[in-house]
Amino acid sequence: MGLFDDDFYSTKVSRRQLRRSSDSAQRWQGNNRRNGWSTLQISLVSSILSAVVAVLLFSLITGLPSASNRAGANGNAAALGEGDPFDRISTAAAKVAPAVVSILNHSELSDDPKQAALGSGVIYKKDKGKAYIITNTHVISGADNLEVVTSDGDSRKATVIGQDSINDIAVLEVDDKGINSVIDLGDSKKLRPGETVIAVGNPLGLGGTLTSGIVSYTSRLIPISLSQDGVYDWEQEVIQTDAAINEGNSGGALVDLNGRLIGINTMKIADTGVEGLGFAIPVNEVMKTVDDLMLYGKVVRPYLGVYSLDLNNPYAEMTEEQRTDLKLPSHVTEGIIVLEAHGPAKDAGLKLNDVITQLDKQPISSTLELRRYMYEDKKIGEDMEITFYRDGKPQTVTVKLADKPSEAELDAEVEEK
């Protein structure tokens, strides 16, 4: 019986059909013996064709390149992106490793390296005797003394060119003596789910560590708390990967198999039962921030100047007494409470316990929505109408948005108070 239970695909031949075939063969065998192919020849050709078809089908199904595609005229790899993936990981790692550095953020109380906060960085540029390093802002937070250690163990002091806490990107400057490698920049917009990637960094002080994985998601929005108070007041666009990212990997490189930077490792989800959830800031977004930091020492954004608290903050629920003090109408359940006013907000007359409910007549319910509206829809120098409640009465003011001060300027302003 054949593959299918019918006569069409049966491997058996009836005796009647055998006799017919035998009679026919005897009638024209003599005429075709010289010009026709023997059974052995036909079998040989059929076997070769079957083998070729099998190889092509295997390559198509598994995605592995055939020998003709792997090798060019000289027997070398014909195209970038082909070949043994393990060899490609080794090649990419060797290319990237010299451009990845370890960063030690020394405590102001001790110069002992064991007491330093650890992180990673990526050398992306050399110019006029200086090398420039991309890292995370949280890696250098509160830095008094930053030390950069290159892949060959050379240590040097670093200075901060600029930093941005919202995008969590900072740029450092060091002397470029002895630095010969600069990382190649990739295009994070061209990433595909399932693409193999490598994370390079300094986890737990183990500099030059490599881990590999795949791109689990190309562009995910993760809610974050900029003030580290548990309240989500921004959303960060990230690449999700299952490549292992541990403490100290922050600021390091996420690269593709061509050794091109596609992201800056920034965080992971560490919880019971959670594995393989690491995140990197896409390089296209990183470089927008880096360009501003190099030009201005900060990211140019419109600035209102309010420190605020969400009216319906689940982590700091208001008591009935506090809500009574605001004298809000019963229908006002969402908004932003002003805690401090600076810059344009102060100039416009906003003050403590004002509750902002609208921007340009659009309802606003949280600090996250306020930031998103300003950063995505407004520009420096533009007017913005603010509707708010004071002592239970609705009021409206117009503010002229200013250039947001740098992190250092904001810190200095807070210290003055």
For residue 267, give every residue at least 6 positions away whose Cβ sits within 8 Å of its Cβ, in sequence order, or none: 222, 238, 245, 250, 278, 279
Q: Report the number of secondary-structure helices (H) and strands (E) in the chain.
A: 9, 21
Sequence-ordered list of residues with C-beta below 8 angstroms from that of 306, at least 6 positions apart, any chain: 336, 338, 339, 340, 341, 342, 345, 350, 356
What is the phi/psi pair of residue 25, to 5°?
-65, -40
Which 8-state DSSP code applies to residue 107?
Answer: -
Q: From CA 370, how far away is CA 354, in angstroms rounded? A: 15
- Residue 349's SS3 state is coil
DSSP state of 316: S
Exposed/middle/buried for 360, CB within 10 Å: 0-12, 13-18, 19+? middle
Q: Which residues are catalytic?
A: 138, 168, 250
Which of 238, 290, 260 shows the shortest CA–CA distance to 187?
Answer: 260
Ordered DSSP codes for 49-98? HHHHHHHHHHHHHH-PPPHHHHB-TTSSB-STT-S-HHHHHHHHHHHHGG
Contact 186, 137 (CB under 8 A): no
